[in-house]
Amino acid sequence: MKQMLSIKWTALLLGSLLLGGCATQTKNYDYSAFRESRPASILVLPPLNNTPDINATYSMLSQVTLPLAESGYYVLPVTLVDEAFKQNGMTTPADIHELPIKKLREIFGADAALYINVKQYGTSYAVISSETRVTAEGQLIDLRSGRTLWQGAATASSAEGNNNSGGGLIGLLVKAVVSQIVDTLNNRGHAIAGVTSTRLLAAGRPNGILYGPRSPMYLKDGSPTLQ
């Protein structure tokens, strides 16, 4: 009898833990500030690079316009923005990210600024596997009020969907070495960064950004129409 009760309580405990985990995973993002602000134009700042690969900043910067534009926003040309910073002595993303939002609004006139932090970028080799991974975090700040409108993170990897079950240990080692060489020479990180930027910035994804005014989906996500 005692054993049956113990099993019953264990099952109940596991069930409650599983339900708690599901509740955490399905938590919806609070879009209150985003819906009030409804930015139409976005200034993308050169991303911070927290990786050893020097290509991370500009690889990611070159990829962000497409998903934002397709989501319905006007994106200030990133190359012209970057050049404007350089002409004014701002050459490092860290310094640019510290600029007052009032100054950014005054110079560029955008409604919001996108701050990106690249956490992982490049190809790594781990005994029997080789992987190119790009991870980035994004934060959208209203340049008119200073409020955080949205923030999120995304990752993409060349190892997604790989099947390493065949070939034995020697085959896996050879495959890993060859993959690392090929990925490095071809700068596969750039292609993976494109997938990451889409996952991070394309509207319509779970807890992603809302659609902008240039999208046919604008104001069709349960948000009130602004006057």
Name, in order, each residue with C-beta under 8 angstroms of 224's C-beta and a sequence gap of 6 or more. Answer: 35
pLDDT at 125 over 90: no
Nearest to 39, CA basis, from 225, 217, 215, 212: 212
What is the band of 115 on the pLDDT scale with cuts at 50, 70, 90? very high
β-strand pairing of 130-142 with 148-157: antiparallel
Is residue 177 included in any domain, yes or no?
Answer: yes
Confidence at residue 162, expressed as pLDDT on a 0 to 100 scale: 58
Q: Which domain holds residue 176?
A: 29-201
Is residue 10 included in any domain, yes or no?
Answer: no
Distance CA 175, CA 156 (A): 20
Confidence at residue 195, expressed as pLDDT on a 0 to 100 scale: 94
Tell me the average pLDDT across 40-65: 96
Is residue 20 included in any domain, yes or no?
Answer: no
Confidence at residue 219, expressed as pLDDT on a 0 to 100 scale: 86
Is residue 49 included in any domain, yes or no?
Answer: yes
Tell me the average pLDDT across 83-100: 96
Confidence at residue 220, expressed as pLDDT on a 0 to 100 scale: 82
Name, in order, each residue with C-beta under 8 angstroms of 83's C-beta and a sequence gap of 6 or more. Answer: none
CA angle in degrees (0–180, nearest 5) for 192-194-196: 75
What is the band of 122 on the pLDDT scale with cuts at 50, 70, 90? confident
Distance CA 127, CA 97 (A): 38
Is residue 215 included in any domain, yes or no?
Answer: no
Confidence at residue 123, expressed as pLDDT on a 0 to 100 scale: 77
Domain with residue 164: its CATH number is: 3.40.50.10610
pLDDT at 10 over 50: no
Is residue 98 included in any domain, yes or no?
Answer: yes
Is residue 7 included in any domain, yes or no?
Answer: no
Tally of domains within the chain: 1
Three-state SS for 27?
coil
Question: Residue 196: how many CB atoms within 10 A of its CB?
Answer: 26
The answer to whether 151 and 137 have CB atoms below 8 angstroms apart is yes
The answer to whether 75 and 44 have CB atoms below 8 angstroms apart is yes
Distance CA 40, CA 65 (A): 14
pLDDT digits (tens, 9 = 90+) for 179-226: 454 444 446 789 999 999 999 999 999 999 999 999 999 988 654 444
What is the band of 136 on the pLDDT scale with cuts at 50, 70, 90? very high
Tokens of 130: 């080789």
pLDDT at 119 over 50: yes
Is residue 75 included in any domain, yes or no?
Answer: yes
pTM over 0.75: yes
Gyration radius of the chain's alpha carbons: 22
